[in-house]
Amino acid sequence: MSAGGIRFENVSVAYGSTVVLDSLDLSVEPGEVMALLGPSGSGKTTALRAVAGFVQPVSGRVLIGERDVTGLPPHRRGIGMVVQQYALFPHMRVEDNVAFGLKAQKAPKAEIPGRVAEALEMTGMAAYARRHPRELSGGQQQRVAIARALAIRPGVLLLDEPLSALDAQLRSDMLAELARLHRELPDVSILYVTHDQVEALTLADRIAVMDRARLQDCGTPQDLYRRPRTEFTASFVGNANLLPVTVGEGGVTLDGVALTLATDGVLPGAAATLCVRPHLVGLGDGPNALRGRIAEVQWRGSTHRLHVEVGAAGRRLKADVGELRETPALGDEVTVHFAPEDGVLLAAGVTDG
């Protein structure tokens, strides 16, 4: 199977009159890991299933490589797929589970044992070939599911919340494992559905942020984190302070306090939202200084999260600060600040991708 990327061209999916995927345009380059990140119900799985061929779009096209696969049945699309609940056949041994896709594809009989061994080797499961799924842990079952998906040497690998049934430690191990597999299979395009931003930030080359059936934002993890385009992205990818500001001829003000910020095309007179990451807010005087009062202190081991009510309106600003000689007390008056380049101005009303 040759690699070649995935392309959604204006793909919409509806159940009855409810549109659950609205005009999705998105390309996954050959060899790229694209995470579809968003809250539950935002349409991520639907998008993935449209690539797999388990749902039929009401409009638009899905391409794998140069091939329009919109009308093709799932088994003719050359995809490997792994879902949350492993979905192994309980009565089949590991090796037969892994061979299943190859047989369905009518791979030459003589090739099958070698391909099964190769896939099990790749996922570290070679020693378990003769076991049944019930004799394996959850993490091992998921490795077998991955081996089964890889056995057909897919050009495209679809992963739907593959780690969400695993406990935290195992999840972290498997995340490293998936990163390694991706390095070993540099030509395979991976579409990875998750609601977990850590998984998306760790694994993805780019993240497509979904909300309410629509693509909201798409970019590298660094881009989305540093320069989110929408409030939704800012709050869903990382932690964010979002404060309403006014953009005037003279610059940006927060409740009357002038701020130094790049306005990046936000027009004077427009309402806008200022996004600043909590760890980029410092305690003490500096650029964009704001006077305020401590409203809450949370100790988090390596940092303190301070909630500071700033300005005339007493808006809450979160500041994550490191070691403090003296922990501020509730009600203390403090000054907080942030560097001009750490504030991102979001135009109001930009919610659609």
Closer residue to ligand ADP in complex, CB, 210/254: 210
Binding mask 37-66 for ligand ADP (x = CB under 6 A): -x-xxxxxxx--------------------
* Shortest spacing between CB 79 and ligand ADP, in angstroms: 17
* Amino acid letter, 294: I
Closer residue to ligand ADP in complex, CB, 44/304: 44
Q: Which residue has the tokens 């391409």?
A: 63
Q: Which of 51, 40, 37, 66 is nearest to 8 (CA)?
A: 51
Binding mask 224-243 for ligand ADP (x = CB under 6 A): --------------------
Q: How many CA atoms lie within 13 A of 187 on its CB side?
A: 9
* Shortest spacing between CB 192 and ligand ADP, in angstroms: 12
* Shortest spacing between CB 51 and ligand ADP, in angstroms: 12
Determine the number of helices (DSSP H) and then strands (DSSP E) in the chain: 8, 20
Residue 54 is classified by DSSP as S
Is 240 in contact with 279 (CB distance < 8 Å)? Answer: no
Tokens of 113: 């044992």
* Shortest spacing between CB 193 and ligand ADP, in angstroms: 6
* Shortest spacing between CB 21 and ligand ADP, in angstroms: 7
Tokens of 196: 């977990």
Tokens of 311: 């300005």
Binding mask 8-27 for ligand ADP (x = CB under 6 A): -------x----x-------
Is 173 in contact with 139 (CB distance < 8 Å)? Answer: yes
Is 237 in contact with 209 (CB distance < 8 Å)? Answer: yes
How many residues line the site for ligand ADP (CB under 6 A)? 10
Binding mask 94-123 for ligand ADP (x = CB under 6 A): ------------------------------
* Shortest spacing between CB 6 and ligand ADP, in angstroms: 16
Closer residue to ligand ADP in complex, CB, 14/257: 14
Closer residue to ligand ADP in complex, CB, 22/320: 22
Q: Which residues contact 65 (CB under 8 A, 6 or more apart)?
A: 2, 3, 4, 5, 30, 155
Closer residue to ligand ADP in complex, CB, 57/65: 57
Closer residue to ligand ADP in complex, CB, 212/315: 212
Q: How far is it, in rounded angstroms, from Cα 207 to Cα 199?
A: 10
Closer residue to ligand ADP in complex, CB, 43/219: 43
* Shortest spacing between CB 45 and ligand ADP, in angstroms: 3
Q: Which of 208, 277, 230, 225 is nearest to 51 (CA)?
A: 208
Closer residue to ligand ADP in complex, CB, 43/65: 43
**Is residue 140 involved in binding ligand ADP (CB under 6 A)?**
no
**Is residue 194 involved in binding ligand ADP (CB under 6 A)?**
no
Measured CA angle at 211 (ends 206, 214), to 5 deg: 80
List of residues contacting ligand ADP (CB under 6 A): 15, 20, 38, 40-46
